[in-house]
Amino acid sequence: MSIKSLIPSLLVENIEKTVEYYTKTLGFSLVTKTPYWAHVSSGNADLYFTLKENVYSFLPEMKEKDMGGTFTLYISVKEIELYYNRIREKITISIPLHTTPYGMKEFQVKDINGYILDFGEQTESTS
């Protein structure tokens, strides 16, 4: 077996608002959207969004789960300072842009569904 790709599927309360946030605020492109599911992408990154209420019919245990999870999605970007400056007034910043001790420029965002997105770019010294 060989894994071809890994695409997170995030539960959301509202498909329309989530797609709008990811496309208009974060700059992703819409690939496909139905009333219950959507697919967005940017470069080599893909995300699926599934309406939480719709999942209950085949995964009833999800009713008891909080959205947002206990994980972060790490998104590698180019020109992180330009990207950060373009979106920072439109997002909820968890951790502002900074350079880590291990030489990465990073910032964290809490999206409208409670998910933590960690954006990062290698600095010249770590490339």
SS3 95: strand
Residue 31, H or E segment: strand 29-33
Fold of 9-126: 2,3-Dihydroxybiphenyl 1,2-Dioxygenase; domain 1 (3.10.180)
User: pLDDT band at residue 125, thresholds of 50, 70 and 90?
Assistant: low
Tell me the pLDDT tens digit for each residue of 31-53: 999 999 999 999 999 999 999 98
Cα separation, 47 vs 40, in Å, equals: 5
What are the residue ranges spanned by the domains of the chain? 9-126
Largest CA distance in the chain: 50
Strand partners, 116: 72, 110
Question: In terms of pLDDT, which residue wins out, 72 or 47?
Answer: 47
pTM listed for this prediction: 0.86
* Strands laid side by side in the 72-76 sheet: 72-76, 116-122, 104-110, 92-99
Lowest mean pLDDT of 47-51, 64-68, 103-107, 108-112, name the range: 64-68
